[in-house]
Amino acid sequence: MEQAVKTTCPYCGVGCGVIATVGDGGVVSVKGDPDHPSNYGRLCSKGSALAETIDLDGRILHPEIGGEPASWDSALDLVAAKFSAAIAGHGPESVAFYVSGQLLTEDYYVANKLMKGFFGSANIDTNSRLCMSSSVAGHRRAFGSDTVPGTYEDLELADLVILTGSNLAWCHPVLYQRLAAAKERRPGMKVVVIDPRRTMTADIADLHLAIRPDTDVALFVGLFAHLVSNNAVDQNYVAAHTSGFAEAFAMAAGVSFGDVLERTGLPAMQLREFYRLFTTTKKIVTCYSQGVNQSSSGTDKVNAILNCHLATGRIGKPGMGPFSLTGQPNAMGGREVGGLANMLAAHMAIESAEDRDRVQRFWASPVIAEKPGLKAVDLFQAVADGRIKALWIMATNPVVSMPDAGAVEAAIKACHFVVVSDILKETDTARHAHVLLPSLGWGEKSGTVTNSERRISRQRAFLAAPGAARADWWQLAEVAHRMGFADAFAYETPAEIFSEHAALSAFENAGSRDFDIGIHQGIGHHTYDALTPFQWPQPAGQVSMETRFFADGGFYHADGKARFIAVEPAETDRTNPDYPFTLNTGRIRDQWHTMTRTGKSARLSSHIAEPFAELHPRDAIEIGVGNAGLVEIESPLGSAVVRALITERQARGSIFAPMHWNDQFAAKARIDAVVPSIVDRFSGQPASKNVAV
């Protein structure tokens, strides 16, 4: 008999609802969930191919120690013994977890609790560092908390949608479909795309601003100055709900229209038109994604955008606001449980003694991390230096995805003790594990994820666990038991973990913090199983109808006001005579991250079959390469060999190459081997764009 289960797509941060049906003979089919308020039944190519990516080929089915099959007991005993020995011999800073936006919130919660509350270190970072951390830092600077003010519906209600550093059509396809449908219904709606490359998203734009890489700060600082000089500031909003306006304006006033033209390389007519549209349109949403975040000035870019929305009071109202588009399915859930090295839990701050005390009392934990831990790039540097003696990597493939990937691989290879929890045995990272632990994949695991509009949805199991595979939270709890923390990790189900997470969000929280899902504290199995998608906040004892933040202020700085941040355009050109091209990396439509799952689908792979680099036709002539010829992309760190795709979508002097391919799929195609470990100084997010090659 057929069994249909409502679950959530595991790929991008749109977080679409999926109905998975297991038919006779175990054949799985998927379709969009018409009742899910984030996608209303839509799915993109990746989501609709989910059933093609869940076979057991290449799966880890049993724990392994040193490449040999082992029992769970012996593997977990060894992990516990090695972490205990490292902490006893070298202190809590000698161990680290590197986790992932692929983890469910419950897995993330347990990992964060174990590291920060029981090991006493904050050395837990995540591949969300590569994805969202500049937005987190920008939100916290401006709002006092990491809060996304709006909802997806705002993109449909706006009269002007600005997409900066976002190839929405390929990276958040269902949200793009919603936007495109809204624009068709209301042709008066304008779309502006800001991107050095003419992407598929730019094809629906009324205005495409092909700025030079990393010049977004100049563009939005110039806009801020333009708004002031054209009397477009909402003086009442600024006076009542913000501070720091004068300082931010003093900085912006030093950036003239001519400066912006020079830095961005835009024609004056286009720049004037963009500023006019922003000044004269009431309902504006500005979406930003990895072109903003993955930059050495990512946090400043975010604040330059937020300054313009705060100055005009266009925030938290229908069809108005800045909107950070999350890359991964659960990058937001990870932020909620404090899965970043510089956050605590339930959006509380590691730097705050009061917050640390509150969390420690709630957990009844022996210690609490007192300072931020190592962020991803620093974490792997510490592995390379030998400061990290025991490392646990969960659900991610840093040997392919981290910048300076070759050095990261060498560091992991040389590390004293490495545990990898994953579903696939032959990833570039898993092959360096001393202990390999088989995790559950999509369709097998149960828990929750939070998407870009703060909507918490269930992922539900509808397939049996293959072999001896177990949930990531279970693996962590079993290690905690063996290290003497049995009482605090006595979980039997993900429902119990979610319930504890919800209770922590509500603990001593009378609306003073932004994150509250207290309504679900003490949740039972039945309620958890039946949970329908909901947005936080959901205060204890009532159903919140609030879906937007900050229309009437209520920011999370102590004085309740938002902060304008004085930001200054930085030098952005990294090229030199030896490395004269600028490389931008990014996603393609039909692959996900390092292709370990989507690479299994012949249908998805037929969209673009090989790694490539987009080049402008005149650059191709100059370097003597024809379409589909091979090009070697080289930086001082390494090189990658890919096909040339010659197109006028690319600006002269620029190259785009996808991030997905690795040596498993094509020899020498690992583009992150070329990308240096330059990071944003506030967020620690690597600059995966604007690389001199």
Q: Which residues bind ligand SF4 (CB under 6 A)?
A: 9, 11-12, 14-16, 39, 43-44, 46-47, 172-174
Distance CA 171, CA 312 (A): 29
Strands 390-394 and 124-126: unpaired
**Secondary structure (H, E, C), 536-566:** CCCCCCCCCCCCCCCCCCCCCCCCCCEECCC
Backbone angles phi, psi at 234, to 5 degrees: -85, 90
CB nearer ligand SF4, residue 10 or residue 196:
10
Distance CA 100, CA 417 (A): 19
Torsion of CA 418, 688, 115, 514, to 10 degrees: -160
Distance CA 555, CA 522 (A): 29
Strands 455-459 and 447-450: antiparallel
Kindly state the helix (H) or strand (E) to which residue 418 belongs, with its residue range.
strand 417-422
Backbone angles phi, psi at 243, to 5 degrees: -140, 165
Write down the least CB distance from residue 205 to ligand SF4, Å: 20
- 3-class state of residue 194 by DSSP: strand
Q: CB atoms < 10 A from the CB of 246, how many?
A: 10
Strands (E), 53-176: 64-65, 68-69, 95-99, 124-126, 160-164
> Any alpha helices (H) in 265-336, and if so which ranges?
268-280, 290-293, 298-311, 331-336
CB nearer ligand SF4, residue 152 or residue 249:
152
DSSP 633: E
Kindly state the helix (H) or strand (E) to which residue 257 belongs, with its residue range.
helix 257-264
CA neighbor of 584 nearest in space, from 332, 211, 323, 330: 211
Residues contacting 525, CB < 8 A, separation 6+: 493, 495
Write down the least CB distance from residue 570 to ligand SF4, Å: 32
Contact between residue 172 and residue 166 where contact means Cβ atoms under 8 Å apart: yes
CB nearer ligand SF4, residue 33 or residue 378:
33
Distance CA 7, CA 30 (A): 10
Distance CA 312, CA 270 (A): 22
Write down the least CB distance from residue 462 to ligand SF4, Å: 17
Distance CA 688, CA 325 (A): 17
Write down the least CB distance from residue 200 to ligand SF4, Å: 14
Contact between residue 670 and residue 611 where contact means Cβ atoms under 8 Å apart: no
DSSP 283: S
Write down the least CB distance from residue 45 to ligand SF4, Å: 7
Contact between residue 61 and residue 466 where contact means Cβ atoms under 8 Å apart: yes
Radius of gyration of the chain (CA): 24
Write down the least CB distance from residue 429 to ligand SF4, Å: 23
Write down the least CB distance from residue 32 to ligand SF4, Å: 7
CB nearer ligand SF4, residue 31 or residue 481:
31
Write down the least CB distance from residue 16 to ligand SF4, Å: 3
Residues contacting 353, CB < 8 A, separation 6+: none
Backbone angles phi, psi at 125, to 5 degrees: -125, 180
- How far CA 567 is from CA of 217, 259, 271, 300, 365, in Å, comes to 8, 15, 20, 6, 40
Take residue 356 and report the two structure tokens written for it. Answer: 């640390």
CA neighbor of 616 nearest in space, from 642, 581, 659: 581
Q: Which residue is nearest to ligand SF4 (CB)?
A: 47
Distance CA 468, CA 64 (A): 11
DSSP 265: -
CB nearer ligand SF4, residue 43 or residue 233:
43
Residues contacting 492, CB < 8 A, separation 6+: none
Distance CA 420, CA 400 (A): 15
- 3-class state of residue 290 by DSSP: helix
Q: How far is CA 27 from the centre of its chain?
A: 32
Write down the least CB distance from residue 329 to ligand SF4, Å: 7
CB nearer ligand SF4, residue 134 or residue 591:
591
Distance CA 198, CA 614 (A): 11
CB nearer ligand SF4, residue 103 or residue 111:
103
CB nearer ligand SF4, residue 14 or residue 227:
14
Take residue 66 and report the two structure tokens written for it. Answer: 């040193």
Q: Which burial class, exposed, middle or buried, applies to 228 when counting CB atoms under 10 A from its CB (0-12, 13-18, 19+)?
A: middle
CB nearer ligand SF4, residue 172 or residue 212:
172
